[in-house]
Amino acid sequence: MKRILVTGALGQIGSELVQQLRNTYGADNVVASDIRAKSGQEAQIGPFEVLDVTDGKRMAQVVKQYNADAIIHLAALLSSTAETKPQLAWNLNMGGLVNALEVSRELGCQLFSPSSIAAFGPDTPRIFTPQDTIQRPTSMYGVTKVAGELLCDYYYQKFGVDTRGLRFPGLISYVAPPGGGTTDYAVEIYYEAVRNGRYTSYIAPGTFMDMMYMPDALDAVVNLMEADASRLKHRNAFNISAMSFAPEQIAHAIQQHIPDFRMDYEVDPVRQSIADSWPDSIDSSQAAEEWGFKAKYDLERTTKDMLSKLRSKLHVGQQS
Ligand code: NAD
């Protein structure tokens, strides 16, 4: 990658990935774009374009204008929002991806497209879910993710487009808020712990899901995009995970720093049923073997860092 276009760049991942890419590749070589205009605070940092990914002509125009050789395609509707607007989710998630693939084919770009643990379903083996396994998701978000994985494989096989992708687990971060996913509780809990010392979880106790702290996710994107292509057998949709926990375990980790922290439960049936259809823990060994994936942050390290970063962000005093 030398000159990179990032779509959906104002979201949870893009807000941090753009910064990391600019540090590595140079501010002028990373073009952030989103359907929303950016705020004044982000104004001077580097190039930005308003780009609706369902407009393929405009996407091609922006790629040509900046002579981009890579597209990191993040614009999508996430799992719980997608479940309330399934038609929009299909149109955005598939329409945007088809445009990104076509632009990559026509203009010779490398393409990163994220999948998700949502690409699995209730028939998938739940524990240590293999890289290659049954994928019959029951959410619209999951349907778009499986279709996207297949489409990216197809564009590689049929047209030689250098497509690459990861199945992200739930991502934990403090810079931008999460965008309507089922795993958002694992971010909200830290904000509420710091602000109020309490949290009401919409996910039931005993519900295990894979998670990862944002720095590991950002490194994974760059490392996969820069990996030697001849070593990649899967290319798209690599399982990656850093930890798997249930709500009571993250609460326990927070109590090591905020002993009075209390959590109760008010389960949301829509998000709970999505969570119940996903694996408990996935096997990332193929990503480790093919391009050296290794996560640095476990639950304890993530918790320590999240609490400390949020205390300074929210101007709350240190307790531990
Ligand atoms: P997000 O919801 O935080 O951000 C998405 C961004 O896309 C937003 O800034 C939004 O304004 C923008 N957008 C919406 N419609 C658009 C359009 N038509 N054109 C251009 N931009 C548009 O999402 P995120 O968490 O940053 O996720 C990015 C990608 O990673 C998505 O494909 C998502 O499915 C995937 N993913 C995320 C997670 C996670 O935990 N965050 C987990 C698994 C997979």
Convert the pLDDT of each residue in 253-295 to its tens digit.
Answer: 999 999 999 999 999 999 999 999 999 999 999 999 999 999 9
Q: Which of 36, 74, 80, 173 to mutate to test the pocket of ligand 1 (most atoms within 8 A of CB)?
A: 74
What's the pLDDT at 317? 75
Ramachandran sector of residue 198 (left: φ over 0; alpha: ψ -120 to 50; beta: rest):
beta
- Rounded CA separation 71/52 (Å): 14
What's the pLDDT at 44? 61
pLDDT digits (tens, 9 = 90+) for 184-219: 999 999 999 999 999 999 999 999 999 999 999 999
> The tokens of 90 are what?
């299909």
Q: Which of 20, 78, 168, 243 to mutate to test the pocket of ligand 1 (most atoms within 8 A of CB)?
A: 78
Angle made by CA atoms 253, 258, 259, in degrees to the nearest 5: 90
Q: What percent of the chain is predicted at pLDDT more than 90?
A: 94
| Pocket lining: 178 vs ligand 1, CB cutoff 6 Å | yes
Indicate the residue type of 218. L
Domains of the chain, earliest start first: 4-169+212-239 (3.40.50.720), 171-211+243-280+297-313 (3.90.25.10)
- Catalytic annotation present for 174: no
pLDDT digits (tens, 9 = 90+) for 57-110: 999 999 999 999 999 999 999 988 999 999 999 999 999 999 999 999 999 999
Backbone angles phi, psi at 309, to 5 degrees: -65, -40
3-class SS letters over 100-137? HHHHHHHHCCEEECCEEHHHCCCCCCCEEECCCCCCCC
Q: How far is CA 36 from CA 9, 47, 70, 304, in A?
A: 9, 14, 21, 33
Residue 320 has pLDDT above 80, yes or no: no
Atom 17, ligand 1: residue with shortest CA distance: 52
Indicate the residue type of 6. V
Q: What is the mean pLDDT of the chain?
A: 96
